Amino acid sequence: MFVILFRNTHTSKMELNAIKYMERAARADPMIISLGQGIPSSHLDPMLRQAAIETIERGDADAYSDPQGLLQLRRLIAEQCAQQGMEYDVDEIIVTAGAIEALSVVLRSVISSEATEIIIPTPVYGAYFKLIETANGEVVEVPLVESHDWALDVSLLKSRLSKRTAAILLCNPNNPTGSVYDEATLHEVAEIAKTAGVTLIVDEVYRNMLYDETSMYSPAEDPEFKQTVVRLMSFSKDFAMTGWRVGYIQADQSRIARLVAIHDTLVNCAPVISQYVACEAIKQSARILHENTQLYGARRQLMASYLDKLSDHMTYVMPRGGYFFFPKATNGQSSRDLTRHLLASKLVAIPGDAFGINGEGHIRLCFGRSEEAIKAGMERLVQYYDAK
């Protein structure tokens, strides 16, 4: 099993990434505890479940929606965005089959034979590498500064721009580091992108998971950058809807026709029943997101308490957003070796090099899992180091 699981890196062609391979291992053995893939432990909220049932009973999910998405859902998204300071009308929103499809659409819209390079600060979500490859693009990595809480060196990013740059892609809050870019940094990056005439893609899937009074700014709030910025969001993590596959793109009207045409060829439309459930999710969002903040905040502290016991073996930066820790082994052990050995101890963690070359030596642990899984999984991590 190990040979199959670990022969791949983020640069390999047309193969599943390390996260998916590790989850296959977890599903194959009921004794394995997974703190790997970012799947919420909770189930679909009862009111969202009821919305799904009623949609089925009405027969509303039996036919395609408009490729751009249900009008009532786009209206609700537009209203919610306006409350967050982002002015996009219903014609500037595209409902997608999750954020992965959304990013695939955007990448295919900006990559051309003349402009193939996508600049991404790393470590970052491992799926980005495959998405860029399949869109015939090239990854240009900019290392984040771990010693400064994984901050972005804007001058270094600017130096990576070239005539072949198609876009800058930011994950904020960052997966896997849990860092959150401040407003000044994001404003500067948006200015750079605007001046250079390249697209700034902002993936804000974890924007509703913030801790320690961390504030969240999006360059999509600034009308000055509306033609530069494309924003991606998802219902998956906030509403325990990972299997329902629904997200959305926000973009200036000048981009919409091309984006919709690409989206239409990929999936025609997002799953219609999921779109109706997403409508109810927005209506219930204040309650659900508040509950999530309390839940994940407590689980973040729980996982941190175990990592503190391992201070002789691992260092970490406390995440300010999302639901991942990204600790580093202090003995210089490679991330692949460490996750191999943890898998032998019946614990799944994700090797850090799956998130870019700057992730080597780290592992990713998800505190979105149940309290029981976190306790049992972290006990196994402690036992692994105690046995060394």
For 337-372, write each residue's pLDDT tens digit: 999 999 999 999 999 999 999 999 999 999 999 999
For 21-59, write each residue's pLDDT tens digit: 666 766 777 889 999 888 899 899 999 999 999 999 999
First to last CA, the chain: 23
Read off the pLDDT of each residue in 92-100 and give the average, rounded to a whole number.
Answer: 98
* CA–CA separation, 147 and 140 (whole Å): 21
For 148-178, write each residue's pLDDT tens digit: 999 999 999 999 999 999 999 999 999 999 9
pLDDT at 264 over 70: yes
pLDDT at 14 over 70: no
Weakest-pLDDT range from 23-27, 119-123, 328-332: 23-27
- Average pLDDT score over the chain: 93
- What pLDDT, on a 0 to 100 scale, did the predictor assign at position 354? 93
- What pLDDT, on a 0 to 100 scale, did the predictor assign at position 13? 46
Q: Which structural domains are found in the chain, ordered by start?
A: 2-43+287-386 (3.90.1150.10), 63-283 (3.40.640.10)
- What pLDDT, on a 0 to 100 scale, did the predictor assign at position 31? 86
Please answer whether residues 60 and 272 qualify as being in contact, where contact means their C-beta atoms are separated by less than 8 angstroms: yes
pLDDT at 273 over 70: yes
pLDDT at 377 over 90: yes
For 203-231, write each residue's pLDDT tens digit: 999 999 999 999 999 999 999 999 999 99
Residue 34's region, left for phi above 0, alpha for psi from -120 to 50, else beta, is beta
Stronger pLDDT, 12 or 84, i.e. the higher one: 84
Within the chain, where are the H helices? 2-6, 18-28, 46-58, 71-83, 98-110, 127-134, 154-159, 183-196, 253-267, 272-283, 285-309, 335-344, 371-386
- What pLDDT, on a 0 to 100 scale, did the predictor assign at position 374? 97
| Residue 4 pLDDT grade (very low, low, confident, very high; cuts 50, 70, 90) | very low
| Residue 8 pLDDT grade (very low, low, confident, very high; cuts 50, 70, 90) | very low
- What pLDDT, on a 0 to 100 scale, did the predictor assign at position 1? 36
